[in-house]
Structures are given as structure tokens and as C-alpha cells.
């Protein structure tokens, strides 16, 4: 059974851009392999080994992205923001500090960019919460300040 992957439109666009960049790398990698092959004995040819390893990495990532896109369910931010849902951006106050997160699927989660998965511990706690709602997370008081 194939697993559905939740993606925002921005996340889908990022994956499509990465995919086209990887596909564009194919000819250069193939040329590196051909040049390295011309050096002779492949068993002691580090250039050939490196080029083949890069080719494998690129091809695996291409397959991974294609599979994600094939099983993607596009998540749009809800028009009416009653509560936190996948696709919404939420500002919270946690222990006196403000944080703004966009709740996304696990594939496009990147906490350093403010994108948290709805499957992460804080993501699970935020789902369904409303503005001014308070809850406890890891012993810290959290208040939902804004939902967009």
C-alpha cells in the first residue's frame, strides 16, 4: 500500500525544482564516467568510482522525489483559520519567547526554516488549537498567539 504524502504547494514546487536540477546533472555525470573510464583500469580508478557514486546518489534521489510527487496530496492552507491545521502558519509564545511555524507534512519539514511536521511532538500538540488557547509542552506553557 502506497503512503500518501502531504505537501503544501510551496513544498511541491521545491521538490519539482530539485528534481529538474538533478535530471539536468545526468549528462555531466555521464561525461565524467566516460572520461574516467578512458583512464584505464577501473579497479584502481578513483575518478570513476567517485563519478559512479555520484550517479547512484543522484539517481536514488530522483527516484525518491518522483515517488513522493506521485503519492502527493496537495494541502492548501484552510480559508477559514479556526484552528491550527496542516498548511497553516501559527505564532506561539513558549516560555516567554515567540516562535512562528508553518505546519507541513513530514517530507517538507525543516525546523531551521520554521516548517514543522504535523507528526512531530509540537506539531501534534498544535493541531486543532485556537488563538489564545494555552497548553503545556515539555513542561513549558505555550499560548497560541496567531493563526494564518
Q: What angle do CA 7, 10, 15 make, to 5 degrees?
A: 70
Q: Which is nearest to 35 in space by CA: 48, 25, 54?
A: 48
- pLDDT, tens digit, 9 for 90 and up, residues 32-89: 999 988 877 777 788 899 999 999 999 999 999 999 999 999 987 777 777 899 889 9
pTM of the model: 0.78
Residue 41: predicted pLDDT: 73
Cell matching residue 22 = 538533478
Residue 1: predicted pLDDT: 54
Does residue 121 have a pLDDT over 80?
yes
Using DSSP bridges, classify how beta strands 5-7 and 72-74 pair: parallel, antiparallel or unpaired.
parallel
Residue 18: predicted pLDDT: 97
Helix axes 46-70, 9-37, angle to 10 degrees: 160
- Residue 132 gets the label, from left (phi > 0), alpha (psi -120 to 50) or beta, of left
Distance CA 9, CA 135 (A): 30
Q: Are 105 and 5 in contact (CB under 8 A)?
A: yes
For 81-105, give one letter per residue: b (16+ CB within 10 A) or e. bebbbbbbbbebeeeeeeeebbbbb
Amino acid at each position: 500500500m502506497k503512503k500518501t504524502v502531504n505537501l503544501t504547494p510551496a513544498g511541491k514546487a521545491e521538490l519539482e525544482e530539485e528534481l529538474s536540477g538533478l535530471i539536468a546533472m545526468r549528462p555531466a555525470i555521464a561525461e565524467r564516467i566516460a572520461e574516467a573510464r578512458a583512464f584505464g583500469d577501473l579497479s584502481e580508478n578513483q575518478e570513476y568510482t567517485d563519478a559512479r557514486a555520484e550517479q547512484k546518489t543522484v539517481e536514488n534521489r530522483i527516484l525518491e522525489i518522483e515517488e513522493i510527487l506521485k503519492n502527493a496530496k496537495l494541502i492548501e492552507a484552510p480559508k477559514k483559520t479556526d484552528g491550527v491545521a496542516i498548511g497553516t502558519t501559527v505564532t506561539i509564545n513558549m516560555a516567554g519567547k515567540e516562535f512562528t511555524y508553518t505546519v507541513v507534512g513530514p517530507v517538507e519539514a525543516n525546523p531551521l526554516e520554521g516548517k514543522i511536521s504535523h507528526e512531530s511532538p509540537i506539531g501534534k500538540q498544535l493541531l486543532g488549537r485556537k488563538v489564545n488557547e494555552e497548553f503545556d509542552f515539555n513542561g513549558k506553557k505555550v499560548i497560541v498567539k496567531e493563526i494564518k
